[in-house]
């Protein structure tokens, strides 16, 4: 989805500085923070996952936004929050839902009859047009020599001389998938195949993305592996059949928001996306983040500790359709309300079966993409916590593929945890975190096998403890008999220039 570029001058929230002891004396009382961390038990987190699995199985196999499974799961989360003493509220929003009526198909009809496997070789691009087309394949400005430099299909000039009615074969890179598909359709392509870029292990496998374009292109569009692209480009006489049966319908879904008491001028948003993809129950993606966040909220209420700063627990809808829930939430904030948001903590996939303990690179030291001022301090809280527990951690980049992205675009400091998706674990990571090098962090990412068997419970427990620790730290928990008042209202100054239109988002929201 293409977003408007945003520039905003922001202040560093006092709560970020205070959490590190940089702006005064206020920090979470050690006993209160430790009590919360110990109260968030892995068994309870797993029990929430079991409930989400049961709900999905009873409702067509998934918890996708707009589905009966989503509504049933929402009722479960709301019930748990009410039992803990919260007053959860639904924040409704309208959106255009992509509905696929049957799995897409892709076959090579000439020169070698080949049927490609859905979910292994290719997948439907979300917001694809519908159609059943058999035609010759024409490669569009593809680059197998230096794939890192691919600009395939990003400009109308790339389609100069393109044979009208052919199927465009386009390589990932530079611009969004939606822009590539729109350029191809405008040039007369009858269908589009976008294959992965090939520059690195995480850009060679199956491409699972969204066009995030409304109106969507009126031609079928699928995404495939780098190897598929190489195969289809090898012979200029190649002919394929691509078929997609889907539609885009007007729909309504919602976020769930639940607040603690505390200083609203220092609101800490602790969030996880709540929807699964349509392909499965979404137990790691993102039942894991949902369950860890929910259990933290429940146990925070039970400790009777008083957050000096308001904590808003958020369960985002329609993330898998393009970060729509978190985008809507941020879009509804006034400038004054944005200034009241101290930070966003995001927990999206925290139990990957071959995962690692990844912390978002708030200061940009590892990947060059820093968050708004204050994000570095959030990264430090997580890194220091893991170090104190004798656990290694590593940075992951702000790629824009999850719900922190709208907060960053609005200049709100952000951070969080991630254990890996379709990317491939390196030898170095296997040496640090264990697991298997050369395999995906989550081999069931966005597929039907993302169920209860697709969770590393030990890693989930470690990450859930970190969720509780960071929530306690930034909430500035005071003991039960404390007055619950904040200690510092000053603001530092910083400047952040948003760059939202260049970011990707995970999986169905992945844009380039």
Q: Which residues are catalytic?
A: 319
- Reported residue count of the chain is 512
- Return the exposure string of 242-264: e unless at least 16 CB atoms fall within 10 Å of the residue's CB, then b: bbbbbebeebebbbbbbbbebbe
Helix axes 457-475, 289-303, angle to 10 degrees: 50
| 336 touches 291 (CB < 8 A) | no
Cβ–Cβ under 8 Å, residues 170 and 509: no
SS3 287: helix
Beta-bridge partners for 417: 347, 359
Listed as own residue / partner, the contacts of 117-122 with beta carbons closer than 8 Å and 24 or more positions apart are: 119/206, 119/279, 119/447, 120/206, 121/206, 121/224, 121/225, 121/228, 122/193, 122/206, 122/222, 122/223, 122/224, 122/225, 122/228
The β-bridge partners of 105 are 243
Burial 393-419 (b: 16+ CB within 10 A, else e): bbbbbbbbbbbbbbbbbbbbbbbbbbb
Q: Mark 75-106 as b/e (b = at least 16 C-beta within 10 Å).
A: ebbbebbeebebebeebebebbbbebeeebbb
Q: How many Å apart are CA 105 and CA 81, to the nearest integer?
A: 43
Question: What angle is formed at CA 60 by the lines to CA 65 and CA 288, rounded to 5 degrees?
Answer: 55
């Amino acid at each position: 989805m293409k977003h408007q570029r945003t520039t905003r001058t922001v202040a560093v929230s006092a709560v970020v500085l205070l959490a590190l002891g940089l702006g005064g004396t206020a920090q979470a009382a050690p006993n209160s923070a430790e009590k919360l961390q110990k109260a968030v038990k892995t068994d309870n987190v797993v029990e929430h996952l079991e409930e989400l699995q049961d709900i999905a199985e009873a409702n067509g196999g998934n918890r996708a936004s707009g589905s009966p499974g989503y509504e049933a799961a929402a009722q479960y989360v709301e019930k748990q929050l009410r039992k803990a003493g919260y007053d959860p509220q639904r924040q409704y929003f309208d959106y255009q839902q992509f509905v696929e009526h049957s799995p897409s198909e892709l076959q090579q009809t000439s020169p070698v009859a080949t049927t490609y496997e859905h979910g292994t070789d290719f997948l439907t691009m979300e917001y694809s047009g519908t159609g059943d087309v058999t035609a010759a394949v024409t490669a569009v400005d593809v680059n197998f020599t230096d794939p890192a430099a691919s600009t395939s299909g990003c400009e109308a000039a790339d389609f100069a001389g393109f044979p009208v009615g052919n199927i465009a074969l386009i390589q990932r890179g530079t611009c969004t998938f939606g822009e590539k598909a729109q350029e191809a359709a405008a040039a007369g392509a009858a269908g589009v195949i976008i294959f992965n870029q090939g520059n690195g292990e995480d850009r060679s496998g199956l491409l699972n993305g969204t066009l995030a374009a409304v109106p969507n292109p009126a031609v079928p569009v699928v995404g495939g592996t780098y190897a598929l692209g190489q195969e289809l480009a090898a012979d200029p006489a190649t002919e394929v059949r691509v078929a997609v049966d889907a539609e885009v319908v007007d729909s309504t879904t919602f976020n769930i928001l639940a607040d603690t008491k505390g200083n609203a001028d220092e609101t800490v948003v602790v969030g996880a996306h709540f929807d699964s993809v349509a392909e499965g129950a979404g137990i790691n993606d993102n039942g894991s983040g949902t369950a860890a966040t929910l259990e933290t909220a429940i146990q925070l209420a039970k400790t009777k500790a008083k957050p000096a700063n308001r904590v808003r627990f958020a369960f985002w809808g329609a993330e898998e359709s393009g970060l729509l829930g978190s985008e809507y939430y941020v879009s509804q904030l006034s400038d004054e309300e944005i200034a009241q948001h101290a930070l966003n903590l995001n927990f999206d996939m925290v139990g990957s079966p071959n995962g690692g303990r990844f912390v978002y690179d708030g200061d940009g030291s590892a990947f060059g993409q820093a968050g708004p001022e204050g994000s570095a301090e959030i990264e430090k809280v997580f890194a220091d916590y893991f170090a104190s527990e004798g656990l290694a951690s590593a940075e992951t980049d702000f790629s824009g593929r999850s719900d922190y992205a709208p907060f960053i675009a609005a200049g709100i400091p952000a951070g969080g945890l991630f254990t890996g998706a379709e990317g491939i674990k390196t030898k170095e990571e296997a040496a640090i975190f264990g697991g298997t090098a050369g395999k995906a962090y989550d081999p069931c990412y966005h597929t039907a096998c993302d169920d209860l068997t697709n969770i590393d419970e030990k890693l989930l427990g470690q990450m859930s403890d970190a969720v509780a620790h960071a929530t306690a730290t930034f909430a500035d928990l005071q003991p039960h008999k404390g007055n619950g008042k904040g200690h510092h209202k000053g603001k530092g100054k910083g400047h952040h220039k948003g760059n939202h239109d260049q970011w990707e988002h995970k999986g169905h929201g992945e844009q380039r």
